[in-house]
Amino acid sequence: MPTPKPIVLDENCPPRRLLALFAVKWTSMVLESLHLHGGCCRTGVLHRSLPGVSKKMLTQTLREMERDGLIARKVYPVVPPMVEYSLTPAGQRFTTLLDLLKAWGEANADVLKGLARRRNNAVVPRKAT
């Protein structure tokens, strides 16, 4: 009997692992920022290019991405310390997906604008106290 193909709900399914990676808000943003900076930039430049991210969240995201092999971290022995992040070959491969998502977003801006409008107008029910 043939082995059934994995489904997205299967924890080991590649599409689910991919979706889990992009579910982390700042991962795709960091990948895109590094990509736009030629694949490599310093921490401060990276932080300034990501409005809304706190230093703590950026540091946490960078550590996770380094652990996952998407970026490499290089510390220069200077005072004050200088740290540079760069895309690894695996990280570079993900930028292809980001380019596709960007193109889809631009082509479907009206749909995204409608989603944002509906979300902003949604009333969140309050709990009875």
Are 46 and 85 within 8 A, CB to CB? yes
Domains and CATH numbers, the chain: 14-121 (1.10.10.10)
Instruction: Name the helix (H) or strand (E) containing 90.
Output: helix 89-107
**pLDDT category of residue 123 using cuts at 50, 70 and 90:** low
pLDDT of 112 reads 87
Please write the tens of the pLDDT for every residue from 38-89.
999 999 999 999 999 999 999 999 999 999 999 999 999 999 889 999 999 9
Beta pairing partners, 87: 71
Q: Where are the beta strands (DSSP E) in 13-111?
A: 40-42, 71-76, 82-87
Q: Considering the entire predicted model, what is its pTM?
A: 0.77
Q: What pLDDT is attached to residue 16? A: 78
Within 10 angstroms of residue 92's Cβ, the number of other Cβ atoms is 15
- The H-or-E segment that residue 18 falls in is helix 14-23
Question: Cα(first)–Cα(last) distance of the chain, in Å?
Answer: 57
pLDDT single digits (tens) 3-20? 776 565 677 777 778 888
